[in-house]
């Protein structure tokens, strides 16, 4: 169950020219959050900058009672968030949304092979997910714009058996889209049992089509401009299949994690 909390910021680290990682003290979030969930943060005064900003959880430390978020400064809200410092109190609601299904809940009694595919700032919830998985062979594929945008690579290396990087300009790793890197790789590696993906819509659309072509289970985490974050205002929707038709599902409450085949990606 989500709660409204005022928690203490422990640290704020700049990971690249625009990406920050924040550690926050919270017994409640650290003990209840599941991979894929997010917190909705009041970044400004709530009057001039009204809306909260939904930010995914990228890790929890249950012993210390802390959790981490990572975000990119893209507008007013995230800029205000990047101006917080240690000891500040932060007003947030969470943990919100559903979560990724862990491999052992999908394929019991099997040492499963898992592929996590992330693009840009979509990589953050995947870090939490990979860390929470035991008894799985974990491969991660991370796509960045260029080598200057690469963040959290060492964190991912620690929680994966294999890590592959792509950049749009080839300044690090494979040159090209992470979806192409992934597609090439699964032809040489035994195909994974499950794919988890988070990133821009064109990337997710491609990943889902690869998953369907190879008959692999696939979960995607969706992003949308959000209002309340708790499922009441019906603002952050995405189109999903239903029986023989379709409907708009709430990204904040029915998602953010959906089965790939259920999402109808807009052209």
Partner 1 sequence: MAQVSLATNIAGIKLKNPVIAASGTFGFGREFAEFIDLNKLGGISVKGLKLRPTRGNKPPRIAETPAGILNSVGLQNPGIEAFIKDELPFLRQYDTAIIANIAGDTVEEYCEMARMLDDTEIDAIELNVSCPNVKSGGAAFGSSPGAVSEITSRVKACCSHPLIVKLTPNVTDIAEIAMAAEASGADAISLINTVLGMAIDIHKRKPVLGNIVGGLSGPAIKPVAVRMVYEVSKSVRIPVIGMGGIFSGEDAVEFMLAGASAVMVGTANLVNPFACLEVIKGIEEYMEMYNYRHVNEIIGKLDTA
Residues within the interface to partner 1 (CB under 8 A): 1-4, 42, 46-52, 76-77, 93, 224-228, 230-238, 247-248, 253, 266
> Tokens 């809200």 belong to which residue?
77
Minimum separation from the CB atom of position 261 to partner 1 (A): 20
For partner 1, give the closer residue by CB, 139 or 253. Answer: 253
Minimum separation from the CB atom of position 48 to partner 1 (A): 5
Using H for helix, E for strand and C for coil, what is the string for the chain?
CCEEEEEEEEEEEECCCCEEEEEEECHHHHHHCCCCCEEEEECCCCCCCCCCEEEEEEEEECCCCEEEEEEECCCHHHHHHCCCCCCCEEEEEEEECCCCCCHHHHCCCCCEEEEEEEEHHHHHHHHHHHHCCCCEEEEEEEEECCHHHCCCHHHHHHCCCEEEEEECCCCCCEECCHHHHHHHHHHHCCCCCEEEEECCHHHHHHHHHHHHHCCCEEEEECCCCCCCCCCCCCCCEEEEEECCEEEEEECCCCCCEEEHHHECCCC
For partner 1, give the closer residue by CB, 83 or 161. Answer: 83
Residues 6+ apart with CB under 8 A from 246: 239, 240, 264
Residue 191 sits at the vertex; the CA angle it makes with 186 and 195, to the nearest 5 degrees, is: 90
For partner 1, give the closer residue by CB, 92 or 194. Answer: 92
For partner 1, give the closer residue by CB, 89 or 232. Answer: 232
For partner 1, give the closer residue by CB, 45 or 87. Answer: 45
For partner 1, give the closer residue by CB, 76 or 148. Answer: 76
For partner 1, give the closer residue by CB, 46 or 170. Answer: 46
Minimum separation from the CB atom of position 220 to partner 1 (A): 16
Minimum separation from the CB atom of position 226 to partner 1 (A): 7
Minimum separation from the CB atom of position 233 to partner 1 (A): 5
């Amino acid at each position: 169950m989500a709660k409204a909390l005022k928690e203490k910021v422990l640290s704020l680290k700049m990971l690249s020219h625009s990406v920050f990682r924040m550690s926050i003290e919270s017994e409640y979030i650290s003990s209840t959050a599941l991979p894929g969930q997010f917190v909705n943060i009041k970044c400004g005064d709530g009057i001039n900058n009204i809306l909260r900003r939904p930010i995914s959880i990228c890790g929890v430390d249950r012993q210390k009672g802390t959790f981490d978020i990572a975000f990119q400064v893209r507008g007013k809200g995230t800029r205000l968030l990047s101006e917080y410092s240690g000891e500040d109190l932060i007003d947030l609601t969470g943990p919100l949304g559903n979560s990724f299904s862990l491999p052992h809940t999908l394929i019991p009694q099997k040492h499963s092979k898992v592929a996590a595919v992330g693009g840009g700032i979509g990589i953050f919830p995947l870090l939490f997910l990979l860390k929470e998985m035991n008894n799985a062979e974990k491969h991660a594929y991370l796509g960045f714009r260029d080598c200057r945008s690469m963040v959290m690579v060492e964190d991912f290396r620690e929680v994966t058996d294999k890590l592959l990087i792509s950049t749009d300009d080839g300044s690090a790793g494979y040159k090209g889209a992470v979806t192409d890197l992934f597609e090439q790789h699964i032809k040489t590696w035994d195909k994974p049992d499950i794919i988890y993906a988070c990133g821009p819509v064109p990337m997710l659309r491609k990943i889902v089509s690869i998953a369907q072509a190879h008959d692999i289970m696939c979960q995607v985490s969706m992003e949308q401009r959000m209002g309340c974050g708790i499922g009441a205002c019906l603002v952050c929707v995405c189109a999903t299949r239903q029986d023989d038709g379709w409907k708009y599902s709430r990204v904040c409450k029915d998602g953010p994690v959906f089965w790939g085949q259920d999402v109808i990606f807009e052209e």
